[in-house]
Amino acid sequence: MLDFKQKLENYALLAVKIGVNIQPGQKLVVNADIASAELVRLVVRKAYEAGAQLVKVNYSDEIVTRTRYDLAPSESFLEPPKWQADELEDMARNGAAFLTIISADPDLLSGVESSRIADHQKTTGQALSGYRELLMGNHASWSGLAFPSPSWAAKVFPNAPKEQQVDLLWDAIFKVVRADQADPIEAWRLHLEGLKHRCDLLNDKKYRSLHYIAPGTDLTIELPEGHIWCQAGTVNDRGIPFLANIPTEEVFTAPLKTGANGTVSSTKPLSYGGNIIDRFTLTLESGKVTAYTAEVGLDTLTTLLSMDDGASYFGEVALVPFHSPISESGILYYTTLYDENASCHLALGAAYAFTLQEGTAMSKEQLLNKGMNQSLIHVDFMMGTSDMNIDGITDDGTAEPIFRNGNWA
């Protein structure tokens, strides 16, 4: 049985060795909330021990962030962070790796005027578009993981005594990221081999479309010619493997931008822009969301869908079995990093270039012509259920079972 210190050491080791997979002489940029400083310091040490040339840490503070939204003048949210964009893009082009450690309160911006959030997201998204395209095209290594802040832990375990909430969240995290195992590196190697096997099976099939049936969902999604099923363990254009998400249970690809038709209903809350969107339904025609409802967060959903022309189209389709570690934990994490790995999900917004054959060598215009959606955003939402059925439709129209009752068929 490992103690807390050993598990935290394992977690930092996974971030450096499996997540961004730092190479000798490489630079690492760590973006993290100040609450996660304990883990950040371990990551910095592990990275230098692995031969990193420089580790640059950019701290944020959720209290400072909330204070800005409450008190800053509205015009400040229209100022693009050019200095930040230039630095990140330059480092990405020159081979740096990027690690994001999330820990923010899912309700951080609850009550903030939606226009202020929308202005900030749009302005920042436009400024950072070049940097994000480099990451989404796997031109740089990147990874994300989580650190339990008190505010986040209180959201996940509201009925537990306050002094136990963070410990409970740590226990859950260590288990699903395999940091509680004696050899977490080997555990991840075996897990990623299993995900790769699923990808190989789907890539051999070359399905023309997928048909989803579940309560509140009847949706058909066409797949572009040359689509590639991937898992979060991938390789950058320098040939270095990395893992984009810790944890991960999904296999995913890009949908044809204009190929989604039908209705889909969410099955877990979506934390977006410091607000919660829940119990929402989207209706799509020729790929575009033409109608939508939400019992919670309708204004936030409206802001999300109107971010730009591509925000109301899908950019990712991901398959996750109901019988997977995060789902079976029975915990609702209120963060996409975890909840998307407990459920089949879709993403509104940009498609990943690497999910199309030769996509990473294509321009934005070429990708768009191939049916790959372009947008400032990429927002996953959960729509899988324990009774979801998914069929793969072949070129001759034959329907083959992929999922039955929420699991691989």
- Pick left, alpha or beta for residue 10 (phi over 0 → left; psi -120 to 50 → alpha; otherwise beta): alpha
Measuring CA to CA, which residue among 230, 245, 240 is closest to residue 102? 245
**Residue 393 pLDDT level (bands cut at 50, 70, 90):** very high
Task: Please say if the pLDDT value at position 281 is more than 90.
Answer: yes
Spatial contact of 327 and 361, defined as CB atoms under 8 Å apart:
no
User: What is the average pLDDT across 73-97?
Assistant: 95
Q: d(Cα 128, Cα 132) in Å, to the nearest integer?
A: 6
Residue 139, number of CB atoms within 10 A of its CB? 18
List Cβ neighbours of 131 (8 Å cut-off, separation of 6 or more). 85, 88, 89, 92
Calculate the CA 28 to chain-centre distance: 20
Q: How far, in Å, CA of 331 to CA of 168, rounded?
A: 11
Judge whether 200 and 242 are in contact, CB under 8 Å. Answer: no
Q: Which residues contact 247 (CB under 8 A, 6 or more apart)?
A: 176, 177, 178, 325, 326, 337, 338, 341
- Sign of the C-alpha dihedral, residues 139, 145, 147, 149? positive
pLDDT tens-digit profile of 48-70? Answer: 999 999 999 999 999 999 999 99
pLDDT at 274: 87
The pLDDT value recorded for residue 64 is 96
Predicted local distance difference test score (pLDDT) of residue 42: 98
pLDDT (tens digit, 9 = 90+) per residue, 32-43?
999 999 999 999
The pLDDT of residue 214: 97
Minimum mean pLDDT range among 18-27, 215-224, 268-277: 268-277
pLDDT number for residue 65? 95
Q: Is residue 131 over pLDDT 90?
A: yes
Amino acid at 105: D
Q: What is the pLDDT of residue 184?
A: 95
pLDDT of residue 273: 85
pLDDT at position 379 over 90: yes
Q: What angle, 0 to 180 degrees and rounded to 10, lies between the N-to-C axes of helices 162-176 and 4-14?
A: 50
The pLDDT, as a whole number, for residue 323 is: 87
Instruction: Give the whole-angstrom CA distance, residue 233 versus residue 85.
Output: 26
Three-state DSSP string of the chain: CCCHHHHHHHHHHHHHHHHCCCCCCCEEEEEEEHHHHHHHHHHHHHHHHCCCCEEEEEEECHHHHHHHHHHCCHHHHHCCCHHHHHHHHHHHHCCCEEEEEECCCCCCCCCCCHHHHHHHHHHHHHHCHHHHHHHHCCCCCEEEEECCCHHHHHHHCCCCCHHHHHHHHHHHHHHHCCCCCCCHHHHHHHHHHHHHHHHHHHHHHCCCEEEEEECCEEEEEECCCCECCEECEEECCCCCEEECECCCCCEEECCCCCCEEEEEECCCCEEECCEEEEEEEEEEECCEEEEEEEEECHHHHHHHHCCCCCCCCEEEEEECCCCCHHHHCCCCCCCHHHHHHHCCEEEEECCCHHHECCHHHCCHHHHHHCCCCCCCCEEEEECCCCCCEEEEECCCCCEEEEEECCEEC
**Terminal Cα-to-Cα distance of the chain (whole angstroms):** 36
For the segment 333-358, what is each residue's pLDDT rounded down to a tens digit?
999 899 989 999 999 999 999 999 99
CB-CB contact of 374 with 368 (8 Å): yes
Distances (CA, A) of 339 to 33, 152, 275, 282: 20, 14, 15, 19
